[in-house]
């Protein structure tokens, strides 16, 4: 079946511009995570969505970052006024439900801020 998809796969943007990253989770998965991974670093948790509950935004590094999940499915991560330190791979993962289920990751969006 279809896995998690993310778009775009690569994004190069100028410092100060806004970017929007998209994640299409596996159909039927109720929970969704966003992470970012910088070179040589572990995955850094950003935000978690579970069903219709309020998202856990505790990992967002600044108020330039926001995310939404429409209709319990597609999610978008928006970074406003991008900075060079935002350059990283942004990964989305969906799971069947909250808990200890396997996380299925998308291929990621590689963001480069010049």
User: Where along the sequence are the contacts to another protein (CB under 8 A)?
Assistant: 31, 35, 40-43, 45, 48, 50, 56, 58-59, 91, 98-100, 102-103, 105-108
Instruction: Report which DSSP code applies to 15.
Output: T
Cβ neighbour number for residue 60 with a 10 Å cutoff: 18
Q: Which of residues 22 and 80 has its CB atom nearest to another protein in the complex?
A: 22
What are the distances in angstroms from CA 41 to CA 31, 37, 87, 88, 93? 24, 6, 12, 10, 18
The least CB distance from residue 81 to another protein, in Å, is 26
Work out how close the CB of 16 gets to another protein at its nearest, in angstroms, rounded to a whole number. Answer: 27
DSSP conformation letters of 39-67:
TT-PEEEEEEEETTSPPB-TT--STTEEE
* Minimum CB distance to another protein smaller for 50 or for 87: 50
Identify which of residues 20 and 56 has a Cβ nearer to another protein in the complex: 56
Least gap, CB of 6 to another protein (angstroms): 9
């Amino acid at each position: 079946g279809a896995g998690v998809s993310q778009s775009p796969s690569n994004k190069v943007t100028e410092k100060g511009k806004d970017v929007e990253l998209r994640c299409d989770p596996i159909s039927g998965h109720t929970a969704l995570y966003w992470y970012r991974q910088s070179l040589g670093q572990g995955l850094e948790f950003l935000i978690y969505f579970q069903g219709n509950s309020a998202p856990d935004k505790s990992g967002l590094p600044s108020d330039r970052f926001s995310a939404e999940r429409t209709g319990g499915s597609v999610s978008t991560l928006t970074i406003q006024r991008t900075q060079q330190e935002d350059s990283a791979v942004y990964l989305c993962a969906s799971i069947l439900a909250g808990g200890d289920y396997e996380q299925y990751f998308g291929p990621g969006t590689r963001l480069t801020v010049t």
